[in-house]
């Protein structure tokens, strides 16, 4: 910002020029070329809602136009970026976003336009004319102006500021606006040049949803008011043009979520803005934003911007962290607060970490707690005439302990708070020879009760400890979160439901141990909810904190290097690990969440950060073997995806894996151990020590996305990949073309997309495809493309009508196809063969660096269409089958020659009875029997039964019905109704009905989102978190180690937490349960 001392220090000519500029700012009339509104919500209550961005997008204009912005005028594109030129009067090329942001960040790398009277501008503007600006006057080669307005109040011009921008017309600079509820920050090349607090804006603070506009206009046009011309530096000389502003790239992050923003009233206050399907500030992870002078630094992965949103601190005071690019702010630790609970002895409380605290300082031994703090009625209850008693209390670790002992006899206690007293024979049917903690490690066990035998067994992961005394209900039901192996640490594995009576009568078990906070809250006890569930998992209850200064060491096959170096590994492997580390920090410090929903209402569940709190001291990534070649496109079974994760109570973390992908998965699991404190004091886990050993059941864990029926912008595709990786899914099946549209650009055949796409801005360029594949490779997600054929190819007819038979037959389309428009590639045409060869010769080499697989489609080929194919003129299978065999031989031959393994849909094998190459992967979608038949023929198969794993089902028909037939289709259900809820998806076993000797042929499966009624607006809502259910089935298996289906009761809270983590990542994931259910354990179970 220009200060008086700067003005006085200038040379006289520069000072005069600057004063003239300031005068123009103060006295000019408003420059209105980009400031207008078609409907002001503060004046008209019927204005349409503002479409929400609700995510992060990035556009690199060096590769051409970006579908995130609409052009006004005629920007042009080349290797330098987007050019905005003024050549004649009336030119004002501009790019305008079709969406709005509700608080957020805008970054643009650009060179401003030269020329007297020429103004380059970047404007954030709302429908009620709130506005935030950058503007460059062409006659000022070293300056940029920042400005803001509230509600169109442009009658005063004292809100502008001037900033140095060295040679801004010839040098690339990055200009940033970070806009929050508390302040606006303007930055140039990462340095803050201005910060405006909302409280300092005199009631004119911009605070309503904003569009983004950037371009160039002639402020010096002779038709403009004299004040505007003076501010712009003078009259524009069009004959000396063109005058060009060049934009290299732009990135935008919306700090709110939802599909659209509406004005709840006409106050114009941000608190009145309502978000449909989301939350204002929802991308930040809290309802309020930490205020400061500058935003956190962002990082770019591929072309997908991943901001460390919500972290705002002064860049002039922050130091560079050892790893990552963000800053943290720490508030003072709040005072310890304890809560009284009914049933505790008088004066006892429970701390925020769940520890039971006696009235005075914690005693040195548990025995003193018994003798000093328990009511007499609880201290002595004779179990026989000999004077033995049941004694109950809470040990120093916060556990409830019940023991039978000789009344009045001194009893020893081990270091964990367990009694070491030997139980008298006449008080126990048998003498227990186990420690209760050891007992909880087993799946099936037997306990001896005081008066008679009581057996506690578990065949479904449930442990029942039951008393037999009439009139006293003292039972504990512990439902194990069965992970398939022996585990320990009651808090982290058991969802405990406890109803305990006063221990004043006989009939109890000899020894019971559970967390006191779990018992006191009637089993709402919260345990870390990992998703997908690991193979084995043990944990404790110690709190560890983590901050951004934690050291990370990366060891590859014994050598040590800083992460990101090339020592001992390939450059791509190091990129994977480097990105995984950066993503880990982003998740922990910018995208974590406060788990309030998973604790009793108004409970004090958070630990307190104190001066002696233990922090994670170091994270060691140990890769015990170098990655094999082709890590970004591994063949099935060639990559070791397993990992182990150890978090020591002392704060040392070790992740060991056989590959960089295993380290990626280990870091992903590590982030799920941590939560954000609502006070802003930091990020913590209460589960240390932790040991996890984990590996996937299936090597192919996929999601199939249809981008033909409705186009999905690249930002949506990136969000899908990111969410898949967080669920340890590894295959994105990209169903890129279909009958309705051909959005894929084939450079040698530009007419395909030019005529087959829905619109010019709904295309995927080669650069888009490569960027998505590269981004997927960083996250362990291989992008496998499908060109479905010979059916589902009607869109080719828009550019090559001679290749398609039965194209768009109306109204009898259903005779020839599953959906309109009908049409299929001709089956016996040399022109079709030539077309396929040219198309695949162009496409396959560009895909080859990133994938080993290519999907050739082959589903739902309608034989009737070939009656209208002049090269066949028959619908008889005896005629068509040999032609289809030749057709598919041609396709698989070209795909295999290019180095790919082919995939096809099940119909090619099961309905057309084709002989396929032995390595072909056959994808099943119709039934369990179909998959069983595939593997019975010796082929490898993928599961994905539409009765379980079709995400688009249950929305009703998308076709319309004439009045004379409508009654026949009422109530207009779709073919795959009902809606596939997560519980149904979770119950699907890909190995169901598969003989044991053929299970190795089932590589895994995919869940599918077809797009008749799913576009970019509802895509995330339709997919997540239901796809998480499929992800866990594919990683962990549908059944536990006992062969039983996994429990919904234990899965629901874990899935609810995964949903919260996805929301924190900016994903519009659907809800699982209402807070009452996740707050109250199994109380929503039947």
Distance CA 1032, CA 726 (A): 11
Look-up of token digits 């501010």: 231
Check if the beta carbon of residue 423 is closer than 8 Å to that of residue 411.
no
CA angle 430, 498, 531 (to 5 degrees): 110
Distance CA 603, CA 596 (A): 9
**What's the token pair of residue 445?**
């066990």
Is 582 catalytic? The answer is no
**What's the token pair of residue 988?**
């699907």
Distance CA 980, CA 1051 (A): 17
Look-up of token digits 């995510």: 55
Check if the beta carbon of residue 922 is closer than 8 Å to that of residue 906.
yes
Cis preceding linkage at 488, omega within 30: no
Distance CA 710, CA 440 (A): 52
Whole-angstrom distance between the N-terminal and C-terminal Cα of the chain? 65
CB atoms under 10 Å from CB of 141, counted, come to 15
Parallel, antiparallel or unpaired: strands 210-218 and 853-855 = unpaired
CA neighbours closer than 13 Å in the CB half-sphere of residue 512: 31
CB atoms under 10 Å from CB of 449, counted, come to 22
**What's the token pair of residue 8?**
């006085």
Q: How far, in Å, are 696, 804, 864 from residue 983 at the CA level?
A: 21, 42, 39
* Residue among 211, 210, 232, 215 nearest 223 (CA): 232
Check if the beta carbon of residue 467 is closer than 8 Å to that of residue 477.
no
φ, ψ at 31 (rounded to 5°): -90, 110
Distance CA 486, CA 535 (A): 10
**Which spans in 308-393 are helix H?**
366-373, 376-379
Radius of gyration (C-alpha) of the chain in whole angstroms: 33
Alpha-carbon dihedral 671, 673, 678, 683, rounded to 10 degrees: -60
* Residue among 985, 859, 952, 773 nearest 301 (CA): 773
* Residue among 471, 478, 475, 477 nearest 508 (CA): 475
For residue 173, count CB atoms less than 10 angstroms from its CB and return exposed for 0-12, middle for 13-18, buried for 19 or more.
Answer: middle
- Check 182, 652, 860, 1012 and give the catalytic one: 860
**What's the token pair of residue 1038?**
């549908």
978-1012 exposure pattern, b = at least 16 Cβ within 10 A, e = fewer = eebebeebbebbbbbebeeebeebbbbbbbbbbbb
Distance CA 47, CA 67 (A): 25
**What's the token pair of residue 705?**
């996305």
Catalytic residue numbers read 860
């Amino acid at each position: 910002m220009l200060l008086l001392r700067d003005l006085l220090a200038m040379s006289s000519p520069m000072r005069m020029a600057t004063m003239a500029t300031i005068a123009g700012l103060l006295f000019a009339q408003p420059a209105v070329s980009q400031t207008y509104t078609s409907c002001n919500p503060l004046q008209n209550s019927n204005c349409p809602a503002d479409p929400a961005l609700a995510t992060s997008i990035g556009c690199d204009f060096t590769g051409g136009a970006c579908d995130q912005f609409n052009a006004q005028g005629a920007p042009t594109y080349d290797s330098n970026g987007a050019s905005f030129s003024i050549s004649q009067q009336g030119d004002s090329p501009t790019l305008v976003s079709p969406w709005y942001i509700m608080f957020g960040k805008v970054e643009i790398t650009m060179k401003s336009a030269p020329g007297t009277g020429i103004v380059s501008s970047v404007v954030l503007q709302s429908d009620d004319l709130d506005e935030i600006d950058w503007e460059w006057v062409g006659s000022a080669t070293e300056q940029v102006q920042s400005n803001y307005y509230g509600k169109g109040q442009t009658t005063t011009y004292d809100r502008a500021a001037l900033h140095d921008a060295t040679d801004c017309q010839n040098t690339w600079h990055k200009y940033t606006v970070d806009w929050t509820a508390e302040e606006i920050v303007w930055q140039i090349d990462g340095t803050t040049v201005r910060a405006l607090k909302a409280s300092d804006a005199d009631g004119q603070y911009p605070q309503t949803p904003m569009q983004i506009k950037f371009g160039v206009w002639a402020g010096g046009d002779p038709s403009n008011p004299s004040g505007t011309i003076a501010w712009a530096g003078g009259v524009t000389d069009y004959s000396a043009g063109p005058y060009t502003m060049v934009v290299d790239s732009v990135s935008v992050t919306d700090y709110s979520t939802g599909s659209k923003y509406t004005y709840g009233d006409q106050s114009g206050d941000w608190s009145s803005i309502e978000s449909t399907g989301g939350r204002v500030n929802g991308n930040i992870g809290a309802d309020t934003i930490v205020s400061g002078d500058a935003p956190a630094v962002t990082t770019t992965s591929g072309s997908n911007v991943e901001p460390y949103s919500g972290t705002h601190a002064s860049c002039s005071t922050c130091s560079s962290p050892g790893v990552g690019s963000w800053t943290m702010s720490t508030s003072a630790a709040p005072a310890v607060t304890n809560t009284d609970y009914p049933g505790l002895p008088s004066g006892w409380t429970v701390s925020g970490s769940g520890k039971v605290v006696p009235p005075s300082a914690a005693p040195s031994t548990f025995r003193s707690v018994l003798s000093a703090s328990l009511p007499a009625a609880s201290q002595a209850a004779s179990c026989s005439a000999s004077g033995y008693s049941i004694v109950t209390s809470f040990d120093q670790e916060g556990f409830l302990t019940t023991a039978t002992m000789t009344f009045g006899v001194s009893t020893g206690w081990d270091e964990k708070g367990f009694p070491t007293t030997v139980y008298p024979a006449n008080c126990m049917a048998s003498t227990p020879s186990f420690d209760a903690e050891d007992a909880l490690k087993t799946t099936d066990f037997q306990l001896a009760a005081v008066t008679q035998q009581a057996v506690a067994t578990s065949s479904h992961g449930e442990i029942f400890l039951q008393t037999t005394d009439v009139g006293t209900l003292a039972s504990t039901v512990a439902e194990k979160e069965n992970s398939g192996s022996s585990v320990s640490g009651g808090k982290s594995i058991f969802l405990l439901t406890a109803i305990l009576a006063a221990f004043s009568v006989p009939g109890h078990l000899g020894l019971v141990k559970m967390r006191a906070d779990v018992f006191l809250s009637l089993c709402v006890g919260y345990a870390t909810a990992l998703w997908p569930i690991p193979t084995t998992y043990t944990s404790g209850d110690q709190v560890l904190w983590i901050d951004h200064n934690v050291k990370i060491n990366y060891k590859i096959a014994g050598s040590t290097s800083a992460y990101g170096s090339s020592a001992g590994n390939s450059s791509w492997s190091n990129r994977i690990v480097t990105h995984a580390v950066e993503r880990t920090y982003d998740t922990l410090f910018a995208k974590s969440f406060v788990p309030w929903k998973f604790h009793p209402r108004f409970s004090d569940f958070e630990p307190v950060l104190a001066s002696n709190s233990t922090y994670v001291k170091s994270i060691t990534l140990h890769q015990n073997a170098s990655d094999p070649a082709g890590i970004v496109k591994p063949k099935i079974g060639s990559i070791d995806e397993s990992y182990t994760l150890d978090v020591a109570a002392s704060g040392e973390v070790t992740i060991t894996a056989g590959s960089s992908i295993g380290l990626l998965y280990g870091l992903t699991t590590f982030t799920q151990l941590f939560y954000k404190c609502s006070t802003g004091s930091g990020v913590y886990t209460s589960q240390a020590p932790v040991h996890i050993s984990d590996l996937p059941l299936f090597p192919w864990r996929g999601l199939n996305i249809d981008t033909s029926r409705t186009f999905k912008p690249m930002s949506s595709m990136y969000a899908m990949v990111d969410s898949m990786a967080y669920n340890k899914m590894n295959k994105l099946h990209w169903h890129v073309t279909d009958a309705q549209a051909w959005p894929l650009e084939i450079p040698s055949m530009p007419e395909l997309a030019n005529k087959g796409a829905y619109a010019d801005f709904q295309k995927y360029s080669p650069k888009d495809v490569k960027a998505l594949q590269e981004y997927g490779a960083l996250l362990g997600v291989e992008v496998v493309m499908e060109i479905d054929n010979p059916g589902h190819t009607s869109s080719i007819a828009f550019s090559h009508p001679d290749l398609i038979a039965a194209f768009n037959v109306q109204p009898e389309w259903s005779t020839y196809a599953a959906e309109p428009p009908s049409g299929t590639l001709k089956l016996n045409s040399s022109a079709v063969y030539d077309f396929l060869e040219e198309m695949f010769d162009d496409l396959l080499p560009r895909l080859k660096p990133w994938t080993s697989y290519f999907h050739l489609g082959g589903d739902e080929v309608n034989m009737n269409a070939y009656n209208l194919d002049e090269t066949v003129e028959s619908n008889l299978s005896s005629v068509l089958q040999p032609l289809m065999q030749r057709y598919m031989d041609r396709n698989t031959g070209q795909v295999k020659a290019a180095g790919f393994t082919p995939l096809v849909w099940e119909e090619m094998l099961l309905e057309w009875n084709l002989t396929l190459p032995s390595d072909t992967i056959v994808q099943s979608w119709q039934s369990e029997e179909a998959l069983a038949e595939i593997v019975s023929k010796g082929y490898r198969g993928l599961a994905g039964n539409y009765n379980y794993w079709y995400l688009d089902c249950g929305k009703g028909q998308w076709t319309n019905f004439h009045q004379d037939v409508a009654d026949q289709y009422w109530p207009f259900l779709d073919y795959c109704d009902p809606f596939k809820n997560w519980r149904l998806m979770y119950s699907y076993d890909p190995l169901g009905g598969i003989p044991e000797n053929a299970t190795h042929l089932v590589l895994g499966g995919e869940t599918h989102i077809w797009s008749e009624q799913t576009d970019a607006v509802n895509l995330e809502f339709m997919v997540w978190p239901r796809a998480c259910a499929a992800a866990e089935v594919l990683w962990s298996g549908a059944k536990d180690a006992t062969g039983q289906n996994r429990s919904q009761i234990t899965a629901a809270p874990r899935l609810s937490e995964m949903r919260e983590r996805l929301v924190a990542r900016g994903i519009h994931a659907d809800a699982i349960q209402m807070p009452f259910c996740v707050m109250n354990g199994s109380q929503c179970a039947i």
